[in-house]
Structure 1
Amino acid sequence: MHIARYAALALLLTLSACASQVDAGVVRDGGAPGFWWGLWHGFVFPFAWVGSLFSDDIAVYAVPNSGGWYDFGFFLGITVLGGGSVFGSKKRR
């Protein structure tokens, strides 16, 4: 049973190694959204996602962006500001 879990984990890790970001999606100039815009977009993600279901003009992720710093801000916005860490830290009764 444990061997199947380890095999599935190894398969997922192998597949995730194939993931990459398209170079056209990363812009190095000063006008591309960076960390602070990523933080904001992560925070408003639930509202933007609902809006994107009804309108093609609403996106939940900015492309192009500045790359890793935008992604880091987006992650923090979703997990910290969006309540992800709050729900995970509550004690279960």
Structure 2
Amino acid sequence: MKNKKFWILMPLMLLLIISLTGCVPGDGKNSVDDPAGFFWGVWHGWIAPISLIIGFFKEDIRIYEIYNSGWWYDLGFYIAIISGFGGISLSRRKEKCK
């Protein structure tokens, strides 16, 4: 039963990840006239590890959008990085000290 769940969920997760990385920083959607704002900062913070991996193969892809609205983009990016990576430690089991 457990193995069956794995084979059902893994392709779905892979498809989801591939489809959601269509909006990585540096893909040309943002410009000086149309900079990335707060919500793009949140999105780019959440997909930063995936953007980093893609950036190894495509030189124009970065983890941070250079055409951004400034402080608001930075705030969204930072919130996403902290909540995404900091949240992992909250889900771990802690041993009780005796």
What amino acid sits opposite 1:69 in the alignment? W
Name the count of aligned residue pairs: 64
TM-score, L = length of structure 2: 0.56
Output one character per residue of 1:44-75: Cα deviation in whole Å (capped at 9) or x when no partner.
Answer: 00000011112102111011211111001001
Give distance in 2, aligned partners of 1:34 and 1:51: 22
What is the percent sequence identity of the aligned residues? 41
State the one-letter code of the partner of 2:85.
Answer: G
Return the alpha-carbon distance in structure 1 between the equivalents of residues 67 and 81 of structure 2. 19
Over the aligned positions, Cα root-mean-square deviation in angstroms equals 2.0
In structure 2, how many angstroms separate the alpha carbons of the residues matched to 1:84 and 1:32? 28
- Structure 1 residue ranges, 4+ long, deviating more than 4 angstroms after superposition: 88-91
5 Å matches for 1:17-56?
31-56=34-59
User: Structure 1 length normalisation: TM-score?
Assistant: 0.58
In structure 2, what is the Cα distance between the partners aligned to 1:72 and 1:41? 11
Counterpart residue type for residue 87 of structure 2: S
Counterpart AA for 1:85: G
CA-CA distance at 1:90 after TM superposition: 4.3
